[in-house]
């Protein structure tokens, strides 16, 4: 009789386990692998096969540990390092995954699985160009590698190449028609291309194949928002959260949807999940002082209120400083450099500090966009007393003189209208790049507005899109004539105090959803906001006014991407206003 643990007996057991695993009897195979390891803890084949089985059954951490134990015994096999790279990617450890994939490739150059896993690591490290190169190399080695085609689509989306991403998904699905993840990624690419009905169909197919696919439920919710079906979007988010209650992106999207619907009490609470998002978490504040959540008395205390996210967010929510000060607090406000001069006299602020400067002592802190939650803001209690921002008197007077000179002669009596047609370009962040593209216009699309008589336009457009006006002024044709009549002093607008001084001398601002719209609203200057269908939450739904800015009027797209209808409505309203002013 052979002794327990002798090589022949263990070899027989290993063969049985492999056969069971290949036939799908995973629990039986696992039992035998564990029996082998109980007799021989450093049995290389049992360790690496059990590690692969653990990955196969979703026990990623355990699989990684088993694979590492096998590598410690024999680190010369490329598939082990590649499988470990896969596991480390799944565990959110892309730097370690990249190192493992590179070790696999050092042992076996051109190894398609390792190239695919390396690409996934590059993607997680926000290095999409290198990710795409790795996926292309994997496909050169193995053209029928469906997973690499699918992953390649994600890298292409990150690079802003949605049409190519769609083609890559289709290549994956040609190889594996029932590939749920590829169907979901196909929906993502179609969403980027503003084709929401087709995106919805792709997500639906993904969910037919994998009903527990959390990301597909989440992305379907986003597409329902694009279709102006917010109740259906909330239902999709609820389905996702029933499967994964801590799904951060779903929590974030649900918060935005609740706020869009005006369900502020629920929305503010859910909005706190933003600090778990990778992009926003990087800006979170580490402080020994606790965050004020509205439940602690502030009499005699010092509180730091600090800006977060964009300039428009600061302009909108700096209004809360006065409410906090009324609770007896000494308020320190930290803001972006562009806003320092504008906010220096903001009501309620005892000390204004530029972001990044050394901070004085404080007892509490609070991010600006957490103040509505702390102060229990509802639709009925939005602090909408305006103006709360003001132009400097001397700066405003200097612009008044310039504006009067520009209006002399044939333009005397015409409406003075500021224009902003594009938001900031944040191409390095895929999520923001998509929003920026959807909220922005090209200058030439303004033609229906520029044709309105008895109006003199003043550019308020900063950033890369400002060159569109100068190019039009240097061009030829009808648009050139209209462009040349637009006053462009934007080179003189060095910060928002300068912009405020010019806005104070205008009759109206027409703007896409960007920080200048917030500035005009906070100054209580008339502002018409050109709004995309998948609106930012702060503009809510199906209303032409804003509870945040009494002077604002909203012109909304009736369908995704339909600026033609919006601009026709604005041109009509502007013509009526200009005629009435004559």
pLDDT in tens, 392-433: 999 999 999 999 999 987 677 899 999 999 998 665 666 778
The number of C-alpha atoms within 13 Å of 123 and in the hemisphere containing its C-beta is: 26
pLDDT in tens, 185-200: 999 999 999 999 999 9
* Structural domain spans, the chain: 302-374, 393-581
User: 478: how many CB neighbours lie within 10 A of its CB?
Assistant: 10
**DSSP-based three-state secondary structure for 511:** strand
The residue to which tokens 């999520």 are assigned: 431
CA separation (Å) from 413 to 70, 339, 416, 419, 572? 83, 32, 9, 19, 19
For the whole model, what pTM was predicted?
0.89
* Paired strand residues for 364: 303
- Let me know if the fold of 302-374 is the same as that of 393-581: yes
Supply the pLDDT for residue 1: 33
pLDDT in tens, 99-157: 999 999 999 999 999 999 999 999 999 999 999 999 999 999 999 999 999 999 999 99
The residue to which tokens 């944040």 are assigned: 426
Supply the pLDDT for residue 426: 64
At residue 473, what are phi and psi to the nearest 5 degrees?
Answer: -65, -30
Supply the pLDDT for residue 66: 86
Q: What is the DSSP letter of 410?
A: G
**Cβ–Cβ under 8 Å, residues 178 and 208:** no
pLDDT in tens, 266-316: 999 999 999 998 877 666 777 789 999 999 999 999 999 999 989 999 999
CATH 3.30.1370 corresponds to the domain 302-374: no
Question: Is the pLDDT assigned to residue 330 strictly greater than 50?
Answer: yes
Q: Two tokens at 348? A: 């309620």
CATH of 393-581 among 3.30.930.10, 3.40.50.300, 3.40.30.10, 3.40.50.2000: 3.40.50.2000
Please tell me the distance from the alpha carbon of residue 462 to that of residue 136, in angstroms, as a whole number. 38
**Cβ–Cβ under 8 Å, residues 34 and 49:** no
**Quick one: what percent of the chain has pLDDT higher than 90?**
79
Supply the pLDDT for residue 50: 82
Question: Is the pLDDT assigned to residue 45 strictly greater than 90?
Answer: no
Q: Two tokens at 328? A: 């007896």
At residue 367, what are phi and psi to the nearest 5 degrees?
Answer: -65, 145
Supply the pLDDT for residue 287: 79
């Amino acid at each position: 009789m052979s002794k327990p643990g002798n090589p022949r007996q263990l070899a027989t057991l290993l063969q049985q386990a492999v056969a069971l695993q290949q036939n799908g009897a995973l629990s039986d195979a696992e039992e035998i692998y564990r029996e082998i390891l109980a007799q021989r803890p450093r049995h290389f084949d049992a360790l690496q096969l059990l590690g692969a089985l653990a990955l196969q059954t979703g026990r990623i951490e355990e699989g990684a540990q088993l694979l590492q134990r096998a590598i410690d015994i024999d680190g010369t096999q490329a598939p082990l390092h590649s499988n470990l790279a896969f596991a480390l990617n799944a565990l959110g450890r892309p730097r370690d995954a990249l190192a493992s994939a590179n070790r696999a490739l050092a042992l076996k150059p051109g190894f398609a699985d390792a190239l695919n896993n390396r690409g996934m690591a590059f993607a997680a490290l926000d290095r999409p160009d290198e990710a795409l190169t790795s996926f292309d190399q994997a496909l050169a080695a193995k053209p029928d590698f469906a997973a690499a085609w699918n992953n390649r689509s994600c890298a292409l989306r990150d690079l802003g190449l949605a049409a190519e991403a769609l083609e890559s998904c289709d290549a994956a699905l040609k190889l594996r028609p029932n590939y749920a993840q590829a169907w979901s990624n196909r929906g993502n690419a179609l969403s980027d291309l503003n084709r929401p009905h087709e995106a919805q169909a792709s997500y639906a197919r993904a969910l037919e194949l994998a009903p527990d696919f959390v990301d597909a439920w989440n992305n379907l919710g986003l597409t329902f928002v694009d279709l102006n079906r917010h109740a259906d979007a909330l239902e999709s988010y609820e389905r996702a959260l029933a499967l994964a209650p801590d799904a951060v992106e779903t929590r974030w999207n649900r918060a935005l949807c609740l706020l869009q619907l005006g369900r502020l009490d629920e929305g503010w609470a859910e909005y706190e999940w933003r600090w778990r998002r990778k992009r926003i978490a990087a800006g979170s504040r580490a402080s020994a002082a606790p965050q004020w959540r509205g439940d602690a008395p502030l009499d005699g205390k010092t509180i730091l209120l600090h800006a977060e996210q964009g300039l428009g967010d600061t302009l909108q929510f700096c209004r809360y400083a006065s409410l906090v000060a009324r609770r007896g607090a000494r308020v320190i406000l930290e803001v972006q450099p562009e806003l320092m001069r504008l906010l220096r006299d903001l009501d309620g602020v005892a000390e204004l500090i530029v972001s990044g400067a050394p901070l004085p002592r404080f007892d509490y802190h609070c991010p600006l966009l957490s103040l509505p939650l702390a102060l229990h803001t509802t639709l009925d209690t939005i602090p909408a007393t305006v103006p709360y921002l003001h132009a400097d008197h001397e700066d405003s007077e200097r612009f008044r003189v310039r504006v009067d000179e520009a209006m002399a002669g044939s333009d005397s009596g015409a409406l003075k209208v500021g224009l902003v047609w594009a938001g900031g370009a944040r191409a390095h962040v895929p999520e923001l790049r998509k929003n920026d593209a959807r909220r922005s216009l090209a200058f030439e699309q303004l033609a229906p507005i520029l044709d309105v008589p008895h109006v003199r336009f003043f550019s308020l457009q900063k950033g890369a899109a400002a060159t569109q006006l100068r190019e039009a002024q240097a061009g030829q044709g009808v648009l050139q004539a209209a462009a040349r009549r637009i006053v462009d002093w934007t080179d003189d607008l060095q910060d928002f105090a300068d912009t405020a001084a010019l806005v104070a001398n205008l009759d109206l601002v027409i703007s896409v959803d960007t920080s200048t719209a917030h500035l005009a609203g906070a100054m209580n200057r008339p502002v018409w906001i050109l709004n995309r269908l998948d609106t930012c939450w702060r503009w809510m739904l199906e209303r032409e006014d804003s509870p945040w800015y009494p002077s604002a009027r909203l012109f909304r797209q009736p369908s995704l991407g339909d600026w033609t209808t919006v601009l026709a409505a604005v041109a009509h309203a502007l013509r009526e206003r200009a005629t009435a002013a004559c």
